[in-house]
Chains A and B, each alone.
Chain A
Amino acid sequence: ILNVEQSPQSLHVQEGDSTNFTCSFPSSNFYALHWYRWETAKSPEALFVMTLNGDEKKKGRISATLNTKEGYSYLYIKGSQPEDSATYLCASHNAGGTSYGKLTFGQGTILTVHP
Chain B
Amino acid sequence: DTGVSQDPRHKITKRGQNVTFRCDPISEHNRLYWYRQTLGQGPEFLTYFQNEAQLEKSRLLSDRFSAERPKGSFSTLEIQRTEQGDSAMYLCASSWTAAGVNEQFFGPGTRLTVL
CA distance A101 to B102 in the complex (A): 6
CA distance A101 to B44 in the complex (A): 13
With an 8 Å Cβ cutoff, the count of chain A residues facing the other chain is 27
A-B contact count (CB 8 A): 65
Note all chain A residues with C-beta closer than 8 A to B102.
32, 93, 101
Write out, one digit per residue, whether chain A residues 50-85 have a CB within 8 A of any chain B CB (1) or not (0): 010000000000000000000000000000000000
CA distance A2 to B49 in the complex (A): 21
Q: Closest approach, in angstroms, between the C-beta of A102 and any C-beta of chain B? A: 4
Note all chain A residues with C-beta closer than 8 A to B107.
43
Note all chain A residues with C-beta closer than 8 A to B31.
100-101
B21: interface (CB < 8 Å): no
A26: interface (CB < 8 Å): no
Q: Closest approach, in angstroms, between the C-beta of B92 and any C-beta of chain A? A: 10
**Do A42 and B108 touch (CB < 8 A)?**
yes
On A, residues with C-beta under 8 Å from B are: 4, 6, 31-32, 34, 36, 41-44, 46, 49, 51, 89, 91, 93, 98-108
